[in-house]
Chain A
């Protein structure tokens, strides 16, 4: 009899402990904090200025930039804050270069952030025909190579480069196609804790020059005109992009 009472008591205490242990630190807490990522496209520290021949790549091409458009997707402030499912970005439209997440409801009284992580391009599960919202911009970024199911351009990077004794020639780095997406993980200098009314701003440089060097140098004059259907070039850009993003500045206020 005593044994029975003992076991029953132990069971009740065990269940109580289990329930209490699983209980969140804070039920339905609302952390009124803002997290902002500013993506800054650049060429080795130089800002993007449309149409100016002020850039040089590793292959020695002097070039201008007419257009830089790209997507980031599955954007997270790790360990557990999702900032965006996907975002279209354009160098000519500064508003698109910012990802902002306002107040969030969390089972905690603060938000911890130690790493920024995202996919450069559109994550594979969305990178299908009509996989993104039907907007003019998204449809303009659709990727086709004779089929309907190419998904979206991850990057369009276009401009002109100088050629001796000739008129300026064009380059058009169009990058896309699953599985060429690049997972970028950028650890912050420390773990940041956001509490109510605080904001965390992270500036991230996107160095396009890096796409044109390391491990493989890209010379505009040697690029195939049909770049989209060229798998080896697509893979080179994917590999080169691995270290194209870097944390520039972090500010907690």
Chain B
């Protein structure tokens, strides 16, 4: 009998132990890492040591990204100008901020932003975390102070709990807020699904139509000479170049940022992945269609001292001088960078 009591006690103790240890929620712990998925032919992403991606951090960042709480009148969110349907860019030349103020540059795409180390068209910011602060404070964008932003988020019924899940305590700070949004933005990856990716994976030209493959050859040769800036798996150097938009370039672009005239007129080289979704094009959104972009390189290049040398050589010849058929083939190839699955990814869409 004594033996039986002891045995029952042991079983009860073990049961209590297991029940007691069982998690009361399915929410991952603050430090559950979020693993970025992308093909191995893309460069490795360097994540800042002080902001590793976590499941809760990314989830919080996603919610903040879509929340207009940052703007002065609670009308504008990050997603207002970086729409998933437009490849996380805007479909207008200049986005509207609070009080319908209008910006002065085209909202750049956030696709594959994790690979960049300078941000905005003129590269004036050197971390994604720091980048987040600017639109909040910009008078023609969200026009809010960082202090008010933190206060509003802290007073929100849900956010303190979400900050606790992501960072271990419910205190809202601008540092945590920008870290969370940067974490989410680093998950905005498009690679692996496009026709171009299928070619990368198989090296089989059969994945292209005849026109697409002819366009590929124009793009990746000195005929079109697109690849010196848009080559590689990312379809961008991630750097800054002058692509012949203006003759007067003094004090513009990256040159203004670094106070060097030899970089005047240079702007970020955008990735062409999902370009079909992200019209209008260029830092000032001057071109409405990819046809217009191709025509710019074909016959509209403007010479200036910092124009990319390979384009400067083209200027001497009057541009690319492509035939109508070649332009159509180049357009057909550009469309092979399209990843339709990406703009339908539920993990990137508005979570509420």
Contacts and interface: CB of A to CB of B under 8 A. Distances in A.
A136 B317 contact: no
B227 to A, nearest CB: 5
A219 interface: no
20 contacts: A51-B262, A134-B42, A134-B43, A134-B44, A136-B43, A136-B232, A139-B231, A140-B239, A142-B227, A145-B222, A146-B217, A146-B223, A148-B220, A167-B303, A170-B307, A170-B310, A170-B313, A172-B313, A225-B316, A226-B223
Nearest to B219: A144
Contacts of B305: 160, 168
Contacts of B232: 136, 139-140, 142
A139 B309 contact: no
A134 B220 contact: no
Nearest to A136: B43
A128 to B, nearest CB: 10
A99 B345 CA distance: 44
B143 interface: no
A135 interface: yes
A32 interface: no
A67 B240 CA distance: 13
A144 B221 CA distance: 6
Nearest to A147: B220
A227 to B, nearest CB: 8
Interface residues of A, number: 33
Contacts of B44: 134-135
A139 B43 contact: yes
B313 A144 contact: no
Interface in B123-143: none
Nearest to A229: B222
A50 B262 contact: yes
B309 A66 contact: yes
A140 B40 CA distance: 16
Given A136-B238, A139-B234, A140-B231, A170 B41 contact: no
B312 A169 contact: yes
B72 interface: no
B147 interface: no
Contacts of B40: 134
B303 A144 contact: no
Most chain-A Cβ atoms within 10 A of its Cβ — which of B220, B239, B307? B220
A144 B220 contact: yes
B220 A139 contact: no
Contacts of A172: 309-310, 313
> Could you tell me the dominant secondary structure of chain A's interface residues?
loop
B234 A129 contact: no
A136 B231 contact: no
A136 B234 contact: yes
Given A134-B40, A146-B217, A148-B203, A225 B222 contact: yes
Contacts of A140: 231-232, 237, 239
Given A135-B44, A148-B220, A172-B313, 5 more contacts: A66-B262, A134-B41, A136-B115, A170-B307, A225-B317
A145 B221 contact: yes
A68 interface: no
Contacts of A225: 222, 313-314, 316-317
Given A130-B41, A144-B227, A168-B305, A139 B221 contact: no
A158 B43 contact: no
3 pairs of A and B residues whose beta carbons are closest in the complex: A139-B232, A170-B312, A146-B221
